[in-house]
């Protein structure tokens, strides 16, 4: 706990008690009793600390980019493993990646509702969406080329 000189400012809650910190989110003067520390000793008031805790990166948001990467790997691997195994891999990889995209959009939206504080999950949300979109594009291309392949095969048949 640092005792920064706040030039005689008093606590916002306790009259006559000198403030030792200022809330980094709402700017309220805080006495030693009122101050709480979050994320690497950042001083905040009790209500801002509650928001900071609620705002912690949800695990699903962190899982989303991995799901999309697994989906992408599955699509590539499906090309390498020709035949039935490739089709099974594609059938697994496509919904997996879309699950990742859906999770990152859903949890990313919840995250952006809390404004004002540094958003620890923001990078995860961006990564999840980017990878999810790459996966979605790959899935669409895959489905399109697969349909073209089936159509060309159908017309080539005698």
Binding site for Zn ion (CB under 5 A): 11, 13-14, 23, 25-26, 28, 31, 33-34, 45, 48
Residue 12 or 103 having the CB closest to Zn ion = 12
Structure token pair of residue 78:
């499906």
- CA distance linking residue 112 with residue 40, whole number of Å: 22
Residue 19 or 89 having the CB closest to Zn ion = 19
Residue 10 or 120 having the CB closest to Zn ion = 10
Q: How far is the CB of 22 from Zn ion (least distance, A)?
A: 9
Q: How far is the CB of 110 from Zn ion (least distance, A)?
A: 21
Q: Length of the chain in residues, anyone?
A: 158
26 neighbors 52 (Cβ within 8 angstroms) = no
- Of 60, 69, 38, the closest CA to residue 132 belongs to 69
- CA distance linking residue 29 with residue 9, whole number of Å: 7
Q: How far is the CB of 48 from Zn ion (least distance, A)?
A: 3
Q: How far is the CB of 128 from Zn ion (least distance, A)?
A: 29
Residue 22 or 94 having the CB closest to Zn ion = 22
- Can you tell me whether residue 29 is helix, strand or coil? strand
């Amino acid at each position: 706990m640092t005792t920064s000189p706040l030039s005689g400012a008093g606590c916002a809650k306790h009259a006559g008690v000198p403030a030792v910190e200022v809330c980094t989110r709402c700017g309220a003067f805080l006495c030693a009793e009122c101050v709480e520390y979050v994320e690497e000793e950042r001083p905040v008031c009790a209500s801002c600390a509650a928001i900071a805790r609620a705002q912690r990166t949800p695990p699903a948001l962190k899982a989303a980019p991995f799901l999309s990467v697994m989906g992408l790997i599955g699509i590539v691997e499906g090309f390498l493993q020709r035949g039935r195994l490739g089709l099974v891999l594609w059938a697994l990889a496509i919904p997996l990646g879309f699950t990742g995209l859906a999770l990152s959009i859903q949890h990313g939206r919840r995250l952006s509702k809390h404004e004002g504080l540094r958003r620890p999950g923001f990078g995860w949300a961006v990564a999840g969406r980017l990878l999810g979109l790459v996966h979605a594009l790959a899935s669409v291309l895959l489905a399109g080329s697969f349909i073209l392949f089936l159509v060309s095969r159908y017309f080539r048949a005698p």
